Copies of this chain bind each other. A is one copy, B any other.
Amino acid sequence: MKEQAMIPVAILGASGYTGVELVRWLIHHPQVRLAALGASTHAGKSLSDIFPALTGLALPMLQKTEEIDWQHIQLVFCCLPHHTSQTIIATLPEHLQIIDLSADFRLKDKAVYEKWYGAHDAAHLLESAVYGLTEYARPALKGARLIANPGCYPTCSLLALLPIIQDIDVSQIMIDAKSGVSGAGRTLRESSLAAEVQEGVQAYSIGGHRHQPEIEQELSFIAKKPLTITFTPHLMPFNRGMLATIYVKTDLNAEAVQKKLHARYHAEPFVHVLPLGTAASTRFVKGSNHCHISLHQGCRPGQVILCSVIDNVGKGASTQAIQNMNVQQGWLETLGLQGLGVFP
């Protein structure tokens, strides 16, 4: 069914959750051929041994990154941990286009990066990397060599805030965010064990989560001044889904904010502004590249509350990476991304 024009693609870190999600979508993408799947400890296995959801597909075997023959690859999705990512990307041949799902090229200021993540060994690439919040980056994405795919919390928060950043008091933005546990990845930690995640809730990284400077960077670009937000993430007892409950101070009422957002997004295929009276729920975007935003009048004068939901593995990671690829390559932006939220 696929055409000749398909480009050969590699995924590094394919055996993690964002990797398997990329494969789930790309396997049926009409312009892409999965040519190499990189992994470290799992090299030599079939990806379907780890994730039987992929059973029956003709996939390349997992191989070590250093054994990939880059001559036959055109595009790389990099799903490696931060720092590992920059080290490998710095050594990749020039002809490769790269979409990096790590945090390594999201922050423009090396000092800010190093404060939150430690030393940066490929800082010379920071300037040219395109921050890939697709709806706001199309011109730069087109033909880009290196795309920094945004973090999940920033994606969820920025899509709600950017259209109204001129209308709100930027010194008073508060984001109380909730994420499914897949966001913690496949790393073994006691805090990720089912018995410690199910059946309860708690906040984490309070007052100091790494996605905060990323949100602040993008907001301040548009607001044209530095700003500090309040950002508190919470770990949810489900796999997929993210909700940002955002409190802003503004002269607009909820209806006016809704109109602004609707004006900005009504032609967007993946961002939907819900009618007043409906609260956005993660349940309706699970498994998709869609973002829903709902608007609500707060109790205080001048307070509006925005609820923004995405799938943290989807629009918050892998499907936004595919959306970015589509723009980068000049293809139809929705190509291969038609799936709707899986409900119930």
The interface of chain A, by Cβ under 8 A from chain B, is 17, 20, 24, 27-28, 49, 51-57, 174, 176, 178, 180-182, 184, 186, 188-190, 192-204, 206-208, 212, 228-232, 234, 236-241, 243, 245, 247, 269, 272, 274-275, 278-288, 290, 292, 296-300, 303, 305, 307, 309, 313, 338-344
Chain B residues, CB < 8 A from A269: 56
21 contacts between A and B (CB under 8 A): A20-B343, A49-B278, A52-B280, A52-B284, A174-B247, A181-B194, A184-B195, A186-B190, A188-B189, A188-B193, A194-B197, A198-B199, A201-B238, A201-B282, A206-B296, A230-B298, A232-B247, A234-B245, A237-B237, A237-B238, A239-B344
Chain B residues, CB < 8 A from A288: 53
Q: Are A237 and B296 in contact (CB under 8 A)?
A: no
Give A140 Cβ to nearest chain B Cβ, in Å.
Answer: 26
Q: Are B52 and A182 in contact (CB under 8 A)?
A: no
Complex Cα spacing A94 to B172, Å: 53
Complex Cα spacing A194 to B238, Å: 8
Q: Are A282 and B202 in contact (CB under 8 A)?
A: yes
Chain B residues, CB < 8 A from A280: 52, 202
Task: Kindly report how many copies of this chain are found in the complex they form together.
Answer: 4
Chain B residues, CB < 8 A from A228: 299-300
Q: Are A201 and B299 in contact (CB under 8 A)?
A: no
Q: Which of B24, B178, B193, B241 contacts A340 (CB 8 A)?
A: B24
Q: Which of B20, B201, B245 contacts A232 (CB 8 A)?
A: B245
Chain B residues, CB < 8 A from A343: 20, 24, 51, 53
Give A266 Cβ to nearest chain B Cβ, in Å.
Answer: 9
Q: Are B206 and A305 in contact (CB under 8 A)?
A: yes
Q: A54 and B287 in contact (CB under 8 A), knowing A181-B195, A198-B237, A228-B300?
A: no
Closest chain B residue to A209, Cβ basis: B299
Complex Cα spacing A204 to B19, Å: 26
Q: Are A199 and B202 in contact (CB under 8 A)?
A: no
Interface centre among A55, A192, A195, A199 (most CB of B within 10 A): A195
Give A206 Cβ to nearest chain B Cβ, in Å.
Answer: 4
Q: Are A55 and B272 in contact (CB under 8 A)?
A: yes
The 3 closest A-B pairs by CB, nearest first: A200-B283, A53-B341, A194-B197
Q: Which of B199, B231, B284 contacts A283 (CB 8 A)?
A: B199
Q: Are B237 and A196 in contact (CB under 8 A)?
A: no
Q: A287 and B287 in contact (CB under 8 A), knowing A193-B186, A237-B238, A243-B201?
A: yes
Q: Are A206 and B307 in contact (CB under 8 A)?
A: yes
Chain B residues, CB < 8 A from A290: 55-56
Q: Are A274 and B52 in contact (CB under 8 A)?
A: yes
